Chain A
Amino acid sequence: MPIIEVENLVKKFGHFVANDHLTFSVDEGEIYGFLGANGAGKTTAMKILCGLSSPTSGKVKVAGYDVYRQSEMIKKRIGYMSQRFSLFDDLSVWENFQFFGGIYGLTAAQIRQRTTELLGRLGLEGEKKQLLGSLPLGWKQKLAFSVAIIHKPSIVFLDEPTGGVDPITRRQFWEIIYETASQGITVFVTTHYMDEAEYCQRVSIMADGRIVALDTPSNLKAQYQVNNIEEVFLRIARN
């Protein structure tokens, strides 16, 4: 059962067509890689899916809700983590969890329980009282991801979550993503690391506002007769 359904999505800014008749769907619990060069229209599409921007035309349903009329409902069911690190540096780990939990309408007891659970998974219970600004970037990214799923959303959108992070932390990050997906949370992720694209169950590649390829990583490699997704990406980007 698809949790994201997009049919002929068009988004225009004046005469510029940022998204040109996108059609794709994402299944519940799937890890979906949304790839494309800079300026291909990924961010625009992602903003529409998050209810931050409305499409010019086309049908878009997220978590069963229509983006035109029910963006408020969508916002309650999704989590979002941006490419820029986005928790508050001058609040402690605990205060950040408390604040974002509160925003999503969690009760104090729920927040306490989720925070213990999420921090326990990261092994960061000891850092609860530390100011976020004093922690290394890799930890912050993991914490930002935990905050994005504090309210157990149906879908979590990750916009280049591993930018600027070392390979070990990236690997750990993907382990957390797998664990999250296994709990039934759909993961919609954009990335510029093509080795990460291999971890996704399906990927789509955008160029000039259109989706040019959409399949499992192994099918795409077979189709383009190359060894890795990076080659697929370069072939598409060069055309």
Chain B
Amino acid sequence: MKGFIIKEFYHIFRDVRSMLVLFGMPVIQVLLFGFALSTEVKNAPVAIIDHSNDQVTRAITTKLLSSGFFILSDQVPGEAHMEEVFRHGRVKEIIVFESDFAKKLEKDKQAGIQVIADASDPNTANLLVNYTSGIIYDYQQEYLKGFTIPVTVSAQSQMMYNPDLKSVFMFVPGVITILLMLITAMMTSISIAREKEMGTMEILLVSPMRPIQVIAGKVLPYVVLAFANALTILLLSYFVLGMPVKGSLVLLLAESMLFIIMALSLGIFISTVSKSQQMAMMLSMFALMLPTILLSGFIFPIENMPVPLQVISNVMPPRWFIIIVKSIMIKGLGFQYIWKETLIIAGMALFFIALSIKKFKIRLE
């Protein structure tokens, strides 16, 4: 058994491709999702048309520009040129203050600001408008402090758990899930399929080793590596991306271990149905990767999917693991809140193990 594990490590460490997948991928993915694919808006170019140019509009402008979300772009001569500016894509948002802003505010207790955003990118537009109204509302609160007039109550939305709408919070659980799935399921299925393809599996099965020992010897190294990977991703997201771990770290690691075991049994199952490395690779790519990315709720919210896809997403193991990771890392919840998801993953693991054993026996016949 020890020899088995040593041999498997030799296989991994001597194959450049395996090494890249195992160690390059996590780092690249985390950084990619963390920085490049961020959905946060920073330094969006805005233009401001100020028809009154008094102390109030200047204060609001300063507040907007110092928020970090916006930077002042070209001066726009007037409303007539607005469309032209948008068409060139030079600005994402234009803010227009009406004339005599401060006077109106004092006299009528209300004044108008027009916010126009480039909605060809609807998400960004939405965010920008929200940021802008938030900042203006903030200013309004400050402004009202000087008065004793009753303040009108307005609805206030609050972003729970992620008040800064940091996209890292959304991506890290997804990235951990995808990587654990990829490394464990894909790598094990490929490495078992390789032994079958090379004919070495036959030799191993003729030996006094039991099939279960052969398989265990093959997958154990991947458990270790996948776990090391999970740790790497967590460390990276904690130190580089500033992702918190609010809940219990031990619980998070234990759940990761369970998920790794589930992915492993899935990998073994894939290898029992595929004859070659290519087939194992294709199966893992199409049967695992795409659904993991598309249907697990990682990128597209499950609630927005058509009902049939929502049903399908229920059988996607990553869906449940993402919930677990989010609950522990972001919400800081304990086991009593995630036992259902844990049970589902454990059930899936048992299911795939049973299926693989059955398949394996048939194949030996």
| Interchain CB contact (< 8 A) of A51 among B203, B206, B365 | B206
At the interface, yes or no: B11 with Cβ under 8 Å from chain A?
yes
Which single residue of chain B is at the shortest CB-CB distance from A96?
B7
State whether A95 touches B207 (Cβ < 8 A). Answer: no
How far is A86 from B203 in the complex, measured between Cα atoms in Å? 7
State whether A91 touches B203 (Cβ < 8 A). Answer: no
State whether B2 touches A52 (Cβ < 8 A). Answer: no
State whether B3 touches A98 (Cβ < 8 A). Answer: yes
Top 5 A-B residue pairs of the complex, sorted by shortest distance between their CB atoms: A102-B3, A84-B199, A80-B206, A86-B199, A75-B208
A69-95 toward B: CB 8 Å interface, digit per residue (1/0)?
A: 000100110101111111111110001
By a CB distance below 8 angstroms, the chain B residues around A103 are 3-4, 204, 207-209
At the interface, yes or no: A105 with Cβ under 8 Å from chain B?
yes
| Interchain CB contact (< 8 A) of A102 among B2, B14, B198 | B2
Question: How many residues in B have their beta carbons less than 8 Å from beta carbons of A?
Answer: 22
At the interface, yes or no: A199 with Cβ under 8 Å from chain B?
no
Q: Which of B3, B207, B208, B365 has the most CB of A within 10 A?
A: B208
A91-B208 contact, Cβ under 8 Å, with A53-B364, A82-B203, A86-B199: no
By a CB distance below 8 angstroms, the chain A residues around B208 are 72, 75-76, 103-105
At the interface, yes or no: B84 with Cβ under 8 Å from chain A?
no
By a CB distance below 8 angstroms, the chain B residues around A78 are 206
By a CB distance below 8 angstroms, the chain A residues around B106 are none
B63-95 toward A: CB 8 Å interface, digit per residue (1/0)?
A: 000000000000000000000000000000000
State whether A86 touches B202 (Cβ < 8 A). Answer: yes
State whether A90 touches B206 (Cβ < 8 A). Answer: no
By a CB distance below 8 angstroms, the chain B residues around A99 are 3-4, 6-7
At the interface, yes or no: B200 with Cβ under 8 Å from chain A?
yes
How far is A238 from B3 in the complex, measured between Cα atoms in Å? 49
Question: How many residues in A have their beta carbons less than 8 Å from beta carbons of B?
Answer: 31
At the interface, yes or no: B147 with Cβ under 8 Å from chain A?
no
Q: How far is the CB of A70 from chain B (nearest CB, A)?
A: 12
By a CB distance below 8 angstroms, the chain A residues around B312 are none
State whether B206 touches A75 (Cβ < 8 A). Answer: yes
Further pairs besides A78-B206, A84-B199: 20, Cβ < 8 Å: A51-B206, A52-B205, A52-B364, A53-B365, A75-B206, A75-B207, A81-B203, A82-B199, A82-B203, A83-B199, A84-B198, A84-B202, A85-B199, A86-B202, A89-B198, A99-B4, A102-B2, A103-B204, A104-B207, A131-B14
**Residues of chain A in range 110-135 having any CB-CB distance to chain B below 8 Å:** 131
Seen from chain B, the residues whose Cβ lies within 8 Å of a Cβ on chain A are 2-4, 6-7, 10-11, 14-15, 198-200, 202-209, 364-365
Q: How far is the CB of B220 from chain A (nearest CB, A)?
A: 15
A86-B198 contact, Cβ under 8 Å, with A52-B205, A76-B208, A91-B7: yes
By a CB distance below 8 angstroms, the chain B residues around A105 are 208
A90-B3 contact, Cβ under 8 Å, with A52-B205, A75-B207, A105-B208: no
How far is A86 from B195 in the complex, measured between Cα atoms in Å? 9
A-B contact pairs, 10 of them (CB 8 A): A75-B207, A75-B208, A78-B206, A80-B202, A81-B203, A88-B7, A89-B198, A99-B3, A103-B3, A103-B209
How far is A87 from B365 in the complex, measured between Cα atoms in Å? 24
Which single residue of chain A is at the shortest CB-CB distance from B14?
A90
Which single residue of chain A is at the shortest CB-CB distance from B214?
A103
State whether A90 touches B203 (Cβ < 8 A). Answer: no
Which single residue of chain B is at the shortest CB-CB distance from A84?
B199
By a CB distance below 8 angstroms, the chain B residues around A90 are 10-11, 14-15
Q: How far is the CB of B202 from chain A (nearest CB, A)?
A: 5
Q: How far is the CB of B5 from chain A (nearest CB, A)?
A: 11
How far is A52 from B361 in the complex, measured between Cα atoms in Å? 10
By a CB distance below 8 angstroms, the chain B residues around A82 are 199, 202-203
How far is A84 from B194 in the complex, measured between Cα atoms in Å? 13
At the interface, yes or no: A50 with Cβ under 8 Å from chain B?
yes
How far is A189 from B20 in the complex, measured between Cα atoms in Å? 42
Which single residue of chain B is at the shortest CB-CB distance from A75?
B208
State whether B7 touches A95 (Cβ < 8 A). Answer: yes
By a CB distance below 8 angstroms, the chain B residues around A54 are 365
State whether B206 touches A88 (Cβ < 8 A). Answer: no
